[in-house]
Amino acid sequence: MRAAGFVIHLARAERRRALVADLQRLSPVPVTVLAAVDGGLLDEAAVEAVYQPHDLLEPRYPFVISRGEIGCFLSHRKAWQAILDSGADAGLVFEDDVVIDPEVFPRAVEAALGWMGRGDWIEFQTRPVDGPVIHSVGAFRIVEPQVPPFRLSAQLIGAEAAARLLAVTERFDRPVDGVLQLLGVTEQRILCVEPSGVRDGTAAAGGTTIQAKGTPLLAELTKSWHRSAYRRAIRAHVAKARARMDQRDRRPLR
């Protein structure tokens, strides 16, 4: 598998430039910097062209997403298109708040690339992930989590998977990692490498560039209730979709 590397970087996030430089230096795949879409600079027409809140996909997403989350989604779509434009079999895509372990991460990438196909999506999560082992090589395991986890810190995305996600996300109603949980919509299995060799560098880089802060207590309690209900709906959605996908194309342990 020939892979191209990309790091999504928001130009105004100056404190993250050192992390981007480290990714370019330490990544086992040569990395190109992709200019992130700044959601704060999008006009209403640009937002309305891609964002349809609440009623686009099932289960219904109960929240309105921020301009930052819209920009983040468009930035990942930009990376998926860059994979296709590169002609590579897969793309290694980083967000710009990622720190990689130079001893572990290259071996995790090697293990994933040696097994995956152009239709696979393999994530390197910042927290341990449990799930059935799909493949193992040495100390590394490729697992399929019960529910695809949040965070798109780093992923290996096969070219066919990138094309599939581009096709189903021309319009969206929730954050990008939320859409990736909708296996019934994307028909895309989400796998993870353990150990990943990746950790979150957000705090050291000045905090998030997406979420607003200072939500009132009552609003936060209401949001928490909706979030719990939504998570239950997602678990049911994923279980139903995976059962159908298992009949179609589960790959045996090799």
pLDDT digits (tens, 9 = 90+) for 91-104: 999 999 999 999 99
- Two tokens, residue 135: 């493949």
CATH number of the domain encompassing residue 180:
3.90.550
What is the sign, positive or negative, of the torsion defined by CA atoms of 1, 143, 19, 202? Answer: positive
| Spacing of C-alpha 6 from chain mean position | 13
pLDDT digits (tens, 9 = 90+) for 11-25: 999 999 999 999 999
* Whether 76 contacts 8, CB under 8 Å: yes
* Whether 188 contacts 163, CB under 8 Å: no
Which residue range forms the structural domain that includes residue 95? 3-249
Q: Among the ranges 73-87, 194-208, 240-254, which has the highest mean pLDDT value?
A: 73-87
254 within some domain: no
Q: Give, rounded to a whole angstrom, the gap between the first and last alpha carbons of the chain.
A: 17
The type of residue at 104 is: V
d(Cα 75, Cα 78) in Å, to the nearest integer?
5
Q: What is the pLDDT of residue 253?
A: 44
Pairing of strands 3-9, 90-95: parallel
- Two tokens, residue 192: 């993870």
- Two tokens, residue 11: 């130009």
Q: What is the pLDDT of residue 247?
A: 82
The type of residue at 39 is: G
- Two tokens, residue 149: 């986890």
58 within some domain: yes
The CA-CA-CA angle for residues 238, 61, 121, to 5°, reads 45
Other CB atoms within 10 Å distance of the CB of residue 123: 26
DSSP string, 183-226: HHHH----EEEES--EEE-TTTTTS-SS------HHHHHHHHHH
pLDDT at 218 over 80: no
pLDDT digits (tens, 9 = 90+) for 119-148: 999 999 999 998 999 999 999 999 999 999
Confidence grade of residue 254 (pLDDT, cut at 50, 70, 90): very low
Residues 6+ apart with CB under 8 A from 251: 134
d(Cα 40, Cα 184) in Å, to the nearest integer?
31
* Whether 133 contacts 103, CB under 8 Å: no
46 within some domain: yes
* Overall domain count for the chain: 1
179 within some domain: yes
Tokens 């995790």 belong to residue = 108
